Amino acid sequence: MKIAFFDTKQYDIPYFEKLGEEKNIKFKFYETKLNEDTVALAKGCDGVCIFVNDTVNAEVIDRLCELGVGIIALRCAGYNNVDIKYAKDKITVARVPAYSPYAVAEHTMALLLTSVRRVHKSYIRTRDFNFSLNGLTGFDLHGKTVGVVGTGKIGRVFIDICLGFGMNVIAYDKFPAEGSGINYVELDELFEQSDIISFHCPLTEDTYHMISEETIDRLKKGVVIINTSRGALIDAEALLEGIKERKIGAACLDVYEEEADVFFQDFSDHIIDDDVLARLISMPNVIVTSHQAFLTREALGNIAETTVDNLIAYSKGEKSGNELEF
C-alpha cells in the first residue's frame, strides 16, 4: 500500500516508518496539511493518513475519490474535521478511538497542578534566583468539587486521578456509563457546583461552545476551566471576557478554537495575528500548551499500531472495528 501522510511531525516518522517496513506499507510524508489545495498530493496513493487540523470536507472527499483513494486513516480519536455524513458510502474513514487515555488524563492533572500551585511562575522566578513566595499562594485540591464533562476512557481515568487526590467528583455525559459508580448530574448543576471543570468530550453540534457568554454566568466565581479535548468546546472570546471580569479564576488549555494555523509551529520570531490567543497567553492565570496532551511514547506507539492495523484491514477488505459510520 501507498499512503499519503499529511501534517507530518518529526515525532510521527520513526513509529510509522518502522511499522510500514514491517507491514509492507509505504508512507509518503508531507508536512503540509490536507485541504482543497493539497489533495492532489494523494495521487497514486491507496489512502491518506491525517491529523486533527487537516480539512476533509465534501470537496476534498470528492477529489480523493477521483484519485482512487479508498481510505482516510485518522491518527487521532476526534473526527470533527471530517465530513462524515458526506463520506458515507464514498470512502472508508477509520480512526484511533483509544491510544492512551492515561497520557491525556495525566496531562490534564499536570496542567491543573501547575496552575493552582503556580509551578510555572516559581520555575521562571528561581531561574533568575528569585526565591520570593509572594503571589505564589495556591489552594488544596483535596475536598474541592471537580466537574468532568465526558466520561469516556479519558474522562474516567481523570476521575480516578481526582479521586486519588480526595476530590469530590461530579460528571455529565449525554450517555452515562452504566454501573460505573460515577455521580452524574445535569450540566447546569455541574456548572453551578464545580470549583474545577474539565472537558473530555468530543466536539459535536451539541457540545459546540459549551462554555459561552451565557453559560459563564452560571459558573461558580473563581472556577478553573480545563480543556484537553477540542478547542471549540469553549468560546475563546467569551472565556477571555470571563477571565477579565474575574468570574473565571484560571484556564488551562491544551486546545484552542482557532488552533489550526498556529499550533505545532514555531512563531517565536513572529507576531501572532490571533488577538484572542495572544491576550489569553498574556493572562497570568492562563496556561496554554500546544495540543500535546497525547504526546507520550506509549501513545505514539499505540497510534501508529492502530492506524496501520486499520489500513491493513481495509486492504484485505475487512473491518477493523474503528470505521466511522453515520
Question: What burial class does residue 197 get, using C-beta atoms within 10 Å of its C-beta: 0-12 exposed, 13-18 middle, 19+ buried?
Answer: buried
| Sign for the pseudo-dihedral over CA of 185, 188, 189, 191 | positive
Question: What burial class does residue 100 get, using C-beta atoms within 10 Å of its C-beta: 0-12 exposed, 13-18 middle, 19+ buried?
Answer: buried
Give the residue from 32, 7, 40, 4 showing the smallest Cα distance to 20: 4
107 is catalytic: no
Q: Element (H or E) spanning 205, and its range?
A: none
246 is catalytic: no
- Cα end-to-end span (Å), the chain: 27
Q: How many CA atoms lie within 13 A of 14 on its CB side?
A: 5
Q: Which of 259, 279, 323, 325 is catalytic?
A: 259
Grid cell for residue 238: 467569551
Q: Which of 75, 107, 200, 291 is catalytic?
A: 291
Using the structure block, give the residue that is written with the C-alpha cell 492506524.
307
230 is catalytic: yes
Tell me if 291 sits within 8 A of 263, measured CB to CB: yes
In the sheet that holds 145-149, the strands lie side by side as 168-172, 145-149, 196-199, 223-227, 248-253, 286-288
Cα–Cα distance, 170 to 186 (Å, whole number)? 10
Sequence-separated contacts (24+) of 258-265 with Cβ below 8 Å:
258/231, 259/53, 259/231, 259/290, 259/291, 260/33, 260/53, 263/53, 263/290, 263/291, 264/7, 264/9, 264/53, 264/290, 264/291
Q: Which of 75, 156, 200, 230 is catalytic?
A: 230
Grid cell for residue 209: 461552545
Tell me if 212 sits within 8 A of 187, measured CB to CB: no
Cα–Cα distance, 74 to 99 (Å, whole number)? 12
| Sign for the pseudo-dihedral over CA of 47, 53, 54, 58 | positive
Q: Give the active site residues.
A: 230, 259, 291
